[in-house]
Amino acid sequence: MLYIILMIICFFILMAIRIPIPFALLASTLVYYLGVDLPLNVVIVRLLRTFDSFVLLAIPFFVLAGRIMAEAGISDRLIRVADLLVGRVKGNLAYVNIVASMFFGGITGTAISETTAIGSILIPSMVNKGYSRQFSAAVTAAASTMGPVIPPSLVFIIFGSIAQVSIRDMFLGGVIPGVLIGILQMVVVKIHGIKHDLPQRTERISRKEAVVIIREASLALMLPLVVLGGILFGIVSPTEAAVVAAFYAAIIAVFVYRSLSLTRLLVVIKDSAVETGSVSIIIAAAALFGWALSNEQAPKVFAEMLMHSTASKWVILLAINCMLFVLGMFMDAIPAIMIVTPVFMPLFEMMHIDPLQAGMFMSLNLITGLATPPVGCCLFAASVIAGSPMESVSKAILPFLAANVMVVLLATYVPAVSLFIPSLFN
């Protein structure tokens, strides 16, 4: 256990001096391997074995589908549908931002692509209409956290592959929390709108215009139905659904909307491969780190220590959520979920908590970190697009983060939030 402690200390030191997360994970893990005198070829074998999983093949195809939809300008069509649905209410562009993120999240499953695709269009529009730069950036970054919650979700795929939980059930379990995040963020906008007298749309959209808007976006809106419908009815596995999503996105972008040329499609495929490579390095490094913890039975020791420290299940869950929230402030959700899953799962097993529910509230907590200062990537991207200092955006986003935390607590203490919809299909 001495080398495990040294490994963890080394990891936090490397993170503190701004070493990229995958290299910090690899370097700190080498401290353990060298300390226990394991041959380095074991490191290579463990790294390669990480990808010996059919489920993980879904990641590059969902990444590709999301990039195609973003590059093809699908976000603009989704924004117009969202504007049609929200109507002429005070603060309507903030509501449009949240609803559009719901749609976009159901297509891409990633947060940062949502921030850039939706934010690049809506943040300038919101500022021109009289919204403050910091509020525009805050609502965009906060709404982006729905992307990895509303299915499909890369974080859910990774958790399911580690914890041996059905990816289909994880996708279904994310529906209620994702919608709850959207509703509670709208409540924040409502309160802010009353307090600060936010602007609203005065022009009416005619029935003819509404039909055109819906028709133009209908094929894009069908993508989540194609993915989830195929998985639910047993037509395709999650990995096969990802392949279908990528081909579907390419066909409608190139041949139907004609907003993406074949030449540009090849560039998008190349960029997706680079992004997948970056994610793969993180996954491999985090898996190696997690294996070192498991090899020394650190999760079991931690679970027994926490169980003996207090008899209250509620207090233990609250402590775990606090740990995850702090971790999410400094680390991306994907490496974080790979590290904490093998650590906490033995504890959840002792507490008789359903693995699906555990995966849901852990994922929700870490995903909230994507918009949480000081390192949240969505928060940073939104502040850059808005041209507003990150400090002022960080202050404006706090009420939205409080809404996310409420959903995390509901998922933690009310099992039905995560388990109700999966139970209907089992």
Q: How confident is the model at residue 376 (pLDDT cuts 50, 70, 90)?
A: confident
DSSP-derived secondary structure for 339-369: HHHHHHHHHHHHTT--HHHHHHHHHHHHHHG
Residue 299's pLDDT is what? 65
Amino acid 370: pLDDT: 85
208-236 average pLDDT score:
83
> What's the pLDDT score for residue 406?
95
The model's confidence at residue 137, banded by pLDDT at 50, 70 and 90, is very high
d(CA 5, CA 280) in angstroms, rounded, equals 26
Buried-exposed string 390-411: b where 16+ CB fall within 10 A, e elsewhere:
bebbbebbebbbebbbebbbbb
For position 139, what pLDDT does the model report?
Answer: 93
H helices within 154-206, ranges in order? 154-163, 167-173, 175-196
The stretch 3-16 carries a mean pLDDT of 84
Q: Would you state the pLDDT for residue 280? A: 80
pLDDT at 319: 87
For the chain, helix (H) and strand (E) counts, in that order, are 21, 0
In the chain the first and final C-alpha atoms are separated, in Å, by 41
Which residues, 6+ apart, have CB-to-CB distance to 341 below 8 Å?
A: 159, 162, 163, 290, 359, 362
Percent of the chain with pLDDT strictly greater than 70: 97
Please determine, for residue 59, whether its predicted confidence score (pLDDT) is greater than 90: no
pLDDT of residue 80: 82
Q: Rounded to an integer, what distance in angstroms lies between the CA atom of residue 235 and that of residue 220?
A: 20
Residue-wise pLDDT tens digits, 288-329 = 887 787 777 776 777 777 777 766 888 889 988 988 888 888
Give the dihedral sign, CA 380/381/387/393: negative
Provide the pLDDT for residue 311.
65
pLDDT-based confidence at residue 361 (cuts at 50, 70, 90): very high
Q: Residue 173 pLDDT more than 70? A: yes
Instruction: Kindly report, residue by residue over 326-344, the tens digit of the pLDDT.
Output: 888 877 888 888 888 888 8
Cα–Cα distance between 97 and 142 in angstroms, integer? 10
* pTM of the complete model: 0.85
DSSP three-state, residue 200? strand
Instruction: Give the HSE-up count for residue 283: Cα atoms under 13 Å, Cβ half-sphere.
Output: 23
102-135 pLDDT tens trace = 887 766 667 777 788 788 888 888 888 888 999 9
Q: What is the mean pLDDT of residues 161-178?
A: 90
User: 189-192: long-range contacts (C-beta < 8 A, 24 or more apart)?
Assistant: 189/91, 189/94, 189/95, 189/98, 189/139, 190/91, 191/399, 192/91, 192/94, 192/135, 192/399
Summarize the confidence of residues 190-211 as an average pLDDT: 82
DSSP 58: H
Residue 415 has pLDDT above 90, yes or no: yes
How far is 69 from 110, CA to CA, in rounded Å?
12
**What does the alpha-carbon distance between residue 7 and residue 42 come to, in Å, rounded to a whole number?**
17
pLDDT at 344: 87
Kindly report, residue by residue over 250-303, the tens digit of the pLDDT.
998 888 888 888 889 999 899 888 888 877 888 888 888 877 877 777 767 777
Cβ atoms of residues 155 and 105 within 8 Å: no
14 pLDDT higher than 80: yes
Of all residues in the chain, what percent carry a pLDDT higher than 90? 18
318 versus 52: the higher-pLDDT residue is 318
